[in-house]
Amino acid sequence: MTGGSKGIGYQIVKEYAEAGANVVIASRNMNKCEEMAHEISAIGVKALPVKCNVGNLEDINTMFSIVKKEFNKLDILVNNAGVYQTKPDIKVTENDWDAIFDINLKGLFFCAQNAAKLMHEHNGGRIINMASATGVKPLKRMSPYTTSKAAVIHLTHTFIGMASEWARYNIQVNSIAPGIIHTDINSDELGNKELAAKTLKRIPLRRYGTPADISSMALYLASDAASYVTGQTFYVDGGFLAE
Our measurement of the distance from residue 14's CA atom to the centroid of its chain's CA atoms, rounded to an integer in Å, reads 15
pLDDT at residue number 34: 97
Over the stretch 176-187, which tens digit does the pLDDT of each residue have?
A: 999 999 887 777
* pLDDT at residue 79 is higher than 70: yes
What residues does each domain of the chain span?
A: 72-242
Amino acid at 130: M
**Torsion on CA atoms 67, 79, 174, 36, rounded to nearest 10:** 80
Q: Which of 54, 51, 168 is nearest to 111 (CA)?
A: 54
Query: Average pLDDT for residues 102-122, to the nearest whole number?
Result: 97
- DSSP H helices in 72-184: 94-101, 108-121, 143-157, 162-166
Query: Average pLDDT for residues 222-230, to the nearest whole number?
Result: 97
pLDDT at residue number 126: 98
Over the stretch 149-196, which tens digit does the pLDDT of each residue have?
A: 999 999 997 655 789 999 999 999 999 999 999 887 777 777 778 877
CA distance 26 to 3: 6
pLDDT at residue number 160: 57
pLDDT at residue number 197: 82
Q: Contact, 103 vs 83, CB < 8 A?
A: yes
Question: What's the CATH superfamily of 72-242?
Answer: NAD(P)-binding Rossmann-like Domain (3.40.50.720)
Query: Average pLDDT for residues 97-111, to the nearest whole number?
Result: 97
CA distance 168 to 8: 30
Over the stretch 36-78, which tens digit does the pLDDT of each residue have?
A: 999 999 999 999 999 999 999 999 999 999 999 999 999 999 9
Query: Average pLDDT for residues 99-124, to the nearest whole number?
Result: 97
pTM higher than the cut 0.75? yes
16 is catalytic: no
Catalytic residue, candidates 16, 145, 208, 235: 145
pLDDT at residue number 195: 77
Mean pLDDT computed over every residue of the chain? 94
